[in-house]
Structure 1
Amino acid sequence: MADYPIKRILKSTNLWLLLIFIVYSIFIIIQSKLQPDGFLTSDSTHYLQMAENLLNGNGMTTINLVPEISTYFATWPIGYPALIAIASFVTGVGVFWAAKLVNILLLGLCFVLIKCLFKQRAPIVGMIFFISTFTTVFVYTWSEVPFIFGMIWLVYGIVNYVEANKIRYAFHMMFAALFLFFMRYIGLIGAGIVGLIGFYYLFSKQWRHMLTCWIAGSIPMLIAGIYLFYNYLQTGLLTGMERIPRAETASEFMIMLWQGLVAEFNTLATSSHVYVAESIIILLVGLLLFVRPRHIRALFSLNRRQFLLPGMFLFVGLVYFIAIVYMRWNAHFDPFNFRLLGPATLMLWLFFISWVTQLKQRDWARWRGFLLLVLGIAFVMNVGYNTYTSLLSPSPDYADTVNKVQETYEEIPAGSIIAFENIHARYLRPDLQYIKVHFQPYFAEKESVKALRERISPNHAAGVYLQTGPIREDRYHDSFIKLIKSARDSEDFVKLE
């Protein structure tokens, strides 16, 4: 009897989820500190710049030195920068670490929802975050992190509303849909999904529940419409920038999509080449070791009610996947990779794992062994090995990058305009206006130096500077390539007179 408390502790769902959460949080902090750019991209620094702007009490418009160019924040929704600003304000840390704290807190909220949905089998479900796509997404400062939480929240609200028909879960659906939109514009699908649940009740002639779902879906749509209209008033565009047609041919597009999908099935790396074969072998070995035909047949013996949770994960994931493929077909932006496809991948994994967790203990034990093998190896590679290599890396860390950027920008007077900026300058020097030189394929035409001068005139800037450095010759106008190359070896900046 003496060892009973120990066994009880080891079987504690909350303890295992907490342990996974702590390990994952340490991983995010270490990776963010040791990677030279702190896992920031251009989009990330726009979020941090806006968060800094909100903290400074300047609202959604950053410093504007060119009257004809709007600096209103409309290219992305305000939600993620607002969360970062709140975290920074409450804790007192800078926006960089506040963003990482937001990611950690959202991971914790994901685990809370997983515990609510999966009860005692939740720790195994939580381990899916060790898959390469998610260990990569959660360490970056990207709005996909809160978006993933929003998708799980939406499924939680829908499933509980369908099962219990209680009004509080309608509020969960409504606020989850609203949350999704304020994280990413594609999040408007959340309101559409809630509306589609209303059609389910329409066909089953449950009028009160139909009306509840339609109201819960319509309110986020109305708020989103007002938000987008205000964007239009401020910038002349619904989402703040011109969306140009995709650059790829239909065949190139399909190849890109296929490569992205292959990479998403890779549990050990976000690549369509590296570790793909190893991932397939691990999956097959796991199936051969633990799963027998009767355990597969057991999956199809579940009753209709037990398919609700996996069905909702699959449905939400498919809606998102169709929406993102459609958007990318019609407009040029990021290629298909773990960032764009990650939310759909998570929904697919949750569909599968919520299916097998419905099984009786005997069958579940076999699938649990399979999952422990696959996800355990993913943990070793994506968390353990990546942390080990980061600790041994001789590369400069994030602090070194920040110090270098601050030193480089000391010569730039406040109230200046900068083009070709280092991405970190956006949040380290919010007193400067950053102008994006038009380049292909993200803009219709390559912008010349003369055209840029005309676009930013008149202005009341202290000066207009181009930061020198490597430049993509296939993307930018020849006049910029010549100007940057002529000064790159001797100066950090070229001043446009």
Structure 2
Amino acid sequence: MSRWYLLAGFAMTGLLLAGLVLSNPNHGTSIDSGYYLQSAANLLAGRGYVVQETGRLVWNGTFPIGYPALIAGLSGLTGLSVLVASKLINGLFLMVSGWVWTRRLGTQRATWMLSVWWLGGFLKLLTYTWSEAVFLVLLAEWVWQLHCLLTAPTPRRTIVLILVGYALFLVRYVGGYVFALTGLLALLSWLSPERLSLPIARQRSIGRQLLTASLAGITGLGTYFELNSLFSDSAFGGERFLPTESSGQLAWLFGRALLNEGLLIRDFTVGGSDWLAWLGVGLQGVLLSLGGWRLRRAYRPMNDERQTATLSQLFVMTGFVYVGVLFILRTLSPFDAPNLRLMAPSTFCLLTAGLLWVGQLPVQYQRLIRPYWAMLLLGSWLQLLPQANLNHKLNQVQARLFVHR
């Protein structure tokens, strides 16, 4: 597959994102976006990493500094507003990611892997001034660096793994979970190395490197939280650990969230009309059934490529561990209920693992799957429609477009 097709896909994605931002009454911003943009503007103005609260500037411990610093840096270099810079940051990270993964896997496999970004839910993350898009790009990079370390452990690869993990944390606090995962892998490398398919001669070396990465990362997290305490009155940006819902309610919240993450075309909502979601369930079921049936009829056993298989396994593990960590944190802190943004890392990892597997199939099998996946991608753009007050918001968009004309 020619790289020109991939480049054309990115160009179309850029145009689509620009249209989505311009058609959105708030230009793809939310309350969290306000924190990011205000912090970035204050960094640019030399006031430090602060936001305005109750009429005074205070240290922004609510969100880590990474994403606002990226926005401020690009805005300062280009002279663009922080809002425009925030949109470009998301797009630039995706483009660099596409270039890097194409060099690693080849155009064909990389195209399958990167097509996850053309799902409606992930296009929405790219459209908004949220840190999730950058976080997901970095998470994929972290999994790759972990794969490289497990393949051939060296001090340099350990350092790179630590740095990428810390970048994840600086973009979203929850990114620190990768250091807990690294520690778990260190334990597995000693107790059950066959689960990681590690060469016997390298078990001890890999275990030491993983433990080093875990301890160094956790030390870095502690240092940042100490800075939060130094510049504000809380290590975690306010009261985080408060009473939350009962275990039964939490199980229901996560069960509903996991159901929605499996629905690629349209999510179910609470208190709203779900006819589009039911339409999506039917369409997704038909497409997956037909595609799976055709693949099963034509499929013949083959020798898997070890690199892609191991990489897919690491993505699956990273996604499942994230869900577990998110559930534990939610039992300790009453932050938002699991939604598109919070669940995106697990969905991203699991879908990426599946698409990597598809990308290693012989071309004739990929051709069978491609039209069904393309229709699923197009259908998933229903996720871009507002979840609440759909008719009212569509009328607002129509009026806005009419005014621009």
TM exceeding 0.5? yes
Q: Which amino acid aligns with 2:398?
A: P
Task: Report percent identity of matched pairs.
Answer: 25
Summarize the Cα distance change of 1:240–1:257 in structure 2 as closer, same or farther, 3 Å threshold: same
Question: What is the RMSD computed on CA atoms of the aligned residues?
Answer: 3.0
| Structure 2 match to 1:91 | 78
Equivalent AA in structure 2 for residue 309 of structure 1: L
Output aligned runs, 1:103-252, within 5 Å: 103-119=90-106, 120-203=108-191, 204=200, 206-245=203-242, 247-252=244-249
Partner of residue 394 from structure 1, selected from 382, 398, 405: 398
Matched with 1:279 is 284
Aligned length: 379
- Which residue does 1:349 correspond to in 2? 351
- Residue 320 of structure 2, aligned match among 299, 311, 318: 318
CA distance in 2, matches of 1:385, 1:148: 19
2-structure distance, mates of 1:178, 1:163: 21
Partner of 2:390: none
Question: For residues 15 and 380 of structure 1, do their structure 2 counterparts lie closer, same or farther at Cα, with a shift above 3 Å needed?
Answer: farther
Larger Rg: 1
Deviation of the 1:285 alpha carbon: 2.2
Partner of 1:44: 33
Amino acid across the alignment from 2:291: G
- CA 1:117–1:369: 2 relative to 1, 3 Å: farther
Which is worse superposed, 76-85 or 164-173? 164-173
Aligned residues of 1:170 and 1:212 also touching (Cα < 8 A): yes
> For the structure 1 residues 328 and 159, does the alpha-carbon distance in structure 2 shift closer, same or farther, using more than 3 Å as the test?
same
1:322, CA displacement in angstroms?
0.8
Unpaired runs of 5+ in structure 2? 192-199, 386-392
Pair 167,371 (structure 1): closer, same or farther in 2 beyond 3 Å = farther
Deviation at 1:350, TM superposition (A): 1.1
Query: How far has the Cα of 1:195 moved from its partner?
Result: 3.1
Distance change in 2, residues 1:26/1:383 (3 Å): farther
**Structure with the higher helix share, 1 or 2:** 2
Does the alignment pair 1:253 with 2:241? no
Q: CA deviation at 1:345?
A: 0.2
Preserved CA contact (<8 Å) 1:270 1:338: no
Aligned counterpart in structure 2 of residue 21 of structure 1, from 10, 13, 17: 10
Gaps in structure 1 of 5+ consecutive residues: 1-10, 401-497
Distance 1:355 1:381 in 2: 21
Q: State the 1:303 CA deviation.
A: 7.1
Partners of 1:242 and 1:105 in 2: CA distance: 34
**Displacement of 1:244 after TM fit?**
4.9
Q: Distance in 2 between matches of 1:143 and 1:51?
A: 13
Match of 1:298 in 2: 301
Shift of 1:22: 1.2
Aligned residue for 1:374?
373
Q: Could you tell me whether the CA contact under 8 Å between 1:260 and 1:336 is conserved in 2?
A: yes
Taking the aligned partners of 2:371 and 2:145, their CA distance within structure 1 comes to 28
Tell me, yes or no, if the aligned pair for 1:246 and 1:328 is still in contact at 8 Å.
Answer: no
Q: Contact conserved, 1:177 with 1:188, CA < 8 A, in 2?
A: yes
Contact 1:106–1:149 (CA<8 Å) still a contact in 2? yes
Q: CA deviation at 1:382?
A: 1.5
Matching of residue 79 in structure 1 with residue 66 in structure 2: yes
Between stretches 80-89 and 273-282, larger displacement belongs to 273-282
CA distance in 2, matches of 1:365, 1:268: 26
Instruction: Write out per-residue CA displacement over residues 389-447 of structure 1, whole angstroms, 9 at most, x where no aligned residue.
Output: 989942337x99xxxxxxxxxxxxxxxxxxxxxxxxxxxxxxxxxxxxxxxxxxxxxxx
Amino acid at match of 1:336: P
Q: 1:159 deviation in Å?
A: 1.2
Residue of structure 1 equivalent to 2:194: none
TM-score (norm 2): 0.84
* Mapped partners of 2:230, 2:189: distance in 1: 38
Name the CA distance, whole Å, in 2 between partners of 1:395 and 1:221: 51
What is the alpha-carbon distance in structure 2 between the residues aligned to residue 124 and residue 340 of structure 1? 24
Letter in 1 for 2:283: E
Rounded Cα–Cα distance in structure 2 between residues aligned with 1:100 and 1:383: 21
Which secondary structure state, in structure 1, belongs to the residue aligned with residue 183 of structure 2? helix
- C-alpha change, 1:146 and 1:324, in structure 2 (3 Å) is same
- Residues 189-198 or 152-161, more deviating: 189-198
What SS is found at the alignment partner of 2:334? coil
**CA-CA distance at 1:368 after TM superposition:** 4.6
Paired AA for residue 373 in structure 2: V
Deviation string for 1:359-387 (max 9, x for gaps)?
3x2xx53245324422344236529997x
Give the distance between the partners of 1:62 and 1:385, measured in 2 at CA. 30
CA distance in 1, matches of 2:286, 2:81: 44
